[in-house]
Structure 1
Amino acid sequence: MKKTHLTETRFSNLELSDSIIKGLKEAGFINCTPIQDKSLPLSLRGKDIAGQAQTGTGKTATFLLATFQHLINDESEKIKNPRALILAPTRELAIQIHKDALVLSKYLNLKFALIYGGTDYQKQLEKIKTNVDIIIGTPGRIIDFYKQGAFTLDNIQVTVLDEADRMFDLGFIKDIRFLLRRMPPADQRLNLLFSATLSYKVTELAYEHMNNPVLIRIEPEEVTSKAIKQIAYCPANDQKIPLLLGLLKHHQPQRSIVFVNTKRCAERLDDYLQANGYKVAMLSGDVPQEKRQKLLAAFQDNQVNLLIATDVAARGLHIPDVSHVFNYDLPQDVEDYVHRIGRTARFGASGEAISFICEEYAYSMPDIKDYIGEKIPVAPIEPELLAEQVAKPERREPRERVVQHGKRPPRPDHKPREQRPRPAANRASTPENPQSPETPQSV
């Protein structure tokens, strides 16, 4: 890490237990980042925090350390059922928080349950029924298990909301309030909220469900990190692929993410990059969870060094050593630009963000410039930056809709049309088949 991105405050000087300090040292954490320096002295003494800081500045460690210390300070008889609940907007972020928690709690006797949708339902249900100290997960499945009586919220001593702004974006606020209202009162627990932006809605949530929180903002005037070198090009639509291939060859990125706006574009780009010799992983919203985790693991382990992603991957992924981020498509939401480029230059490293201002999404750039408060330099497209030879991929067959002899293949439960039941509205009304608008029949 570069010391310019750290403070003089050392973790060993904070009110943290020796076991926590030992785990921090082994993980390579010696000095605090600014958000840790401002938040931990207060939260370690039981003060609620609503914190705003840029992505990649150590917010996760901030709330994990405060949570751990609060739980081990409790000298009461061992309580069954969870004592802390950490909520994240996406399963990727929940998985990463859990991973960090295991590292930082190496010398603590704490048990965790990782809960999220999309996979391992029964396994997670059985886990949460055991005597776990901390639940980390997404709201939907946690509420599902709560309503089944798998655990209680009566003994919650610490509540964490991570990326609260994203909770609003994804429509989770009703779920969040459902859980908060079933916990002990706010003044009987430690409440920690962290967000990339402390908008009016997020601040209102903090004051409604927290105990007089301290608002901490770190460098609010600097929306994007100075460690990220930003540059843009203005290609025609048919230049985007040759330009991307040329830039990849020119920069030789150690590990890079290419962001696109649609799954269709991701698939097309995936085909072209693979046809031109790149090992690529593609991440979009409908990728099954198990496959998604394998793709991310392959990316982190350098089995592939190029990830194509829609905005499902823009937040919450703490992947080290991403040297370059490419906005192949400019995002249509200005905040997504900040979160995308924040995948590079994490924890003091430097990085480069390259954006294509193409014909289709050029209208987004003025709003992005206004939001980040700076103009992104536009470089000319020199001829040497365009790949001369671009191998075209073989034509992709439509996924799960292979056409045979001009017809779709029949489904396993397919019946000839004459054997299918007619809709209720088209059947004649008979004593055996009465019609009633109050009792429509399913088709």
Structure 2
Amino acid sequence: MFNQIALHERLLKAVAELKFVEPTPVQAAAIPPALEGRDLRVIAQTGSGKTAAFVLPILHRLLGEDRPKVRTRALILLPTRELAQQTLKQVEAFAQFTFLKGGLVTGGEDFKVQAAMMRKEPDVLIGTPGRLIEHLEAGTLHLEAVEVLVLDEADRMLDMGFAEAVQRLAELCSKRQQTLLFSATSGGAGLRAMVASVLKDPLHLQLNSVSQLNEGTRQQIITADHDWHKEQLVHWLLEHEEYNKAIIFTNTRVGADRLYGRLVAKGVKAFVLHGDKDQKDRKLAMERLKQGGNKVLVATDVAARGLDVEGLDLVINFDMPRSGDDYVHRIGRTGRAGGEGLAISLICHTDWNLMSSIERYLKQTFERRTIKEHKGTYQGPKKVKASGKAAGTKKKKLDKKGAAKAPAKRKSGPRPNADKPALVSGDGMAPLKRRKPDAE
């Protein structure tokens, strides 16, 4: 129960108002040591409630000291605008009975308006690394008084190329007393290096392994022959699956726009979200999806992190994600907070090896499914029997003594196809190779 955690009474009042009764596993594990001031390295799946696991300890710290207001005392770094906006809403919700204020700094918003907001020195500053660096270089960002630094979705920030920016911002918070690092995956060498450089004697909390992610989500694959076949499958699934809201992921912006156009032409109420969309369009897409005006969102991986939409229960991978971590974050949009969901990946011959590697990474086997109305010819790679010899080599013929026979001499006479004209180049000199027809 939340009332058994030693939080400030005003925060407990907000928790009760929001109808939070029992903490999630990540909250129960992370909040107590965070309240003690420990640095934390937390791995927890998306949708597990980890935002509250760092927001509540931050607000508790800021409320606990009877001291005059100073400059911004907490900084939360996140990879995407959408995740930053949702985190601000969480800060505002938990701080509703306090004097504490939050501020948001992301790309796509008016730079001067953000600078004016920061001059008011919000207690908690939430932002994306790229835009914060722009304000730093413009002299409008001051981090000297920051006591707590949070790196949320740290693995994704590294994937997006923010490693240098994050390191620079962390170094500017030189007087900080606590650092909390959260991610949904264990990451690679880059993340381990960041943990070593920004955390001091951290407590490591791993609330799950990747093989345990999204236990409430069924994971299926459907084989397809090509992109046009995938488009047919997507339309059929949207017509026949029972769902409240759906996201379809593509790997490219061009692919997202093309699929969005195809769906709209067939009467599907959809929106598209990717990095080329301005902030106004991105907000509109999210609002329409959350309010139910549009049930379908076509998106690139910009939406795979931090997107928390109630009732989102179907994820379709039109393109297979490029890594196991990206797959985890995509399907993490559904089956959140103990709910149920369905994740379907469309697999053609170019996707199979990538899909198999993700199965191995997750230590899972995805359910195979066939749509009989749109069954294709590709059903996965054919099993090739071992021949007992290396591919591309010919077995030599041996004589009775075991020695290799000499190759037979070509019989005299005309060559095969000698009556067919040779292909020559335009100048009539060098022979040209006969070309095979291009594959469709």
Whether 1:194 aligns to 2:185 is no
Deviation at 1:126, TM superposition (A): 0.6
SS of the equivalent of 2:272 reads strand
1:203 aligns with 2:168: no
In structure 1, distance between residues paired with 2:250 and 2:212 = 22
Equivalent in the alignment of 1:326 = 316
Aligned match of 1:229: 218
SS in 2 for 1:95: helix
Is residue 2:226 matched to residue 1:252? no
Tell me the CA shift for residue 11 of structure 1. Answer: 1.2
Q: 1:214 aligns with which of 203, 209, 219?
A: 203
- The residue type paired with residue 207 of structure 2 is I
Give how far 1:221 is off.
5.3
After superposing the two structures, state which structure 1 stretch, 203-212 or 155-164, moved more: 203-212
Tell me, in whole angstroms, the C-alpha distance in 1 between the residues paired with 2:283 and 2:375: 34
CA RMSD of superposed structures (Å):
1.7
1:6-25 → structure 2 map (5 Å cutoff): 10-25=1-16
Give the aligned partner of residue 137 of structure 1. 127
- Give the match's secondary structure for 1:211: coil
Unpaired stretches in structure 1, ≥5 consecutive residues: 1-9, 387-443
Distance 1:269 1:91, change over 3 A: same
Shift of 1:334: 2.2
Paired letter, 1:163 = E
Local SS of the residue matching 1:160: strand
CA distance in 2, matches of 1:191, 1:377: 40
Report deviation, 1:246: 1.5
2: distance between equivalents of 1:172 and 1:260? 22
Q: Name the structure 1 match of 2:276.
A: 286
Please list the CA deviations of residues 18-58 of structure 1 after superposition, one character each: whole Å capped at 9, or x if unmatched. 11111112222111111111111100111111100111101
Tell whether the 8 Å contact from 1:86 to 1:136 is kept in structure 2 after alignment.
yes
Q: How much has 1:133 moved relative to structure 2?
A: 0.7
Structure 2 residue 47 is matched with structure 1 residue 30? no
**How many residue pairs were aligned?**
374
Q: Report SS of the residue matched to 2:231.
A: helix
Q: Is the 8 A contact 2:95 2:101 kept in 1?
A: no
Deviations 1:363-385 (A, max 9, x none): 31111111111110111221278
Q: Which whole-Å CA distance do the structure 1 matches of 2:103 and 2:38 have between them?
A: 25
CA radius of gyration, larger in: 2
Counterpart CA distance in 2 for 1:249 and 1:150 is 51
Conserved 8 A contact 1:322-1:344: yes
Structure 2 alignment gaps of length 5 or more: 377-440
Q: TM-score, normalised by structure 2?
A: 0.82
1:389 aligned residue = none
- 1:154 Cα deviation after fit: 1.6
User: Is 2:148 the partner of 1:158?
Assistant: yes
Contact 1:334/1:364 (8 A) holds in 2: no
2:51 and 2:87 in contact (8 A); partners too: yes
Alpha-carbon distance change, 30 to 164 in structure 1, aligned in 2, over 3 angstroms: same
Which deviates more, 231-240 or 119-128?
Answer: 231-240
Whether 1:42 aligns to 2:30 is: no
The yes-or-no answer on 1:102 pairing with 2:85 is: no
Tell me which residue corresponds to 2:345: 355
1:89 counterpart = 2:107? no
Counterpart check, 1:78 vs 2:88: no
Q: CA contact under 8 A between 2:185 and 2:325: conserved in structure 1? A: no
**1:409 paired residue number:** none
**1:62-113, Cα deviation, whole Å (9 max, x unpaired):** 110111011111222321x201100111112111111221112111211111
Identity of aligned residues (%): 35
Q: 1:115 offset after TM fit, Å?
A: 0.2
Maintained 8 Å contact 1:50/1:193: yes
- Pairwise CA distance, 1:223: 4.4
What are the Cα deviations for residues 185-226 of structure 1, in whole angstroms up to 9, with x where unaligned? 4xx512111011233432332232222110100122534211
Task: Give distance in 2, aligned partners of 1:358 and 1:133.
Answer: 50
Which letter does structure 1 place at the counterpart of 2:22? Answer: N
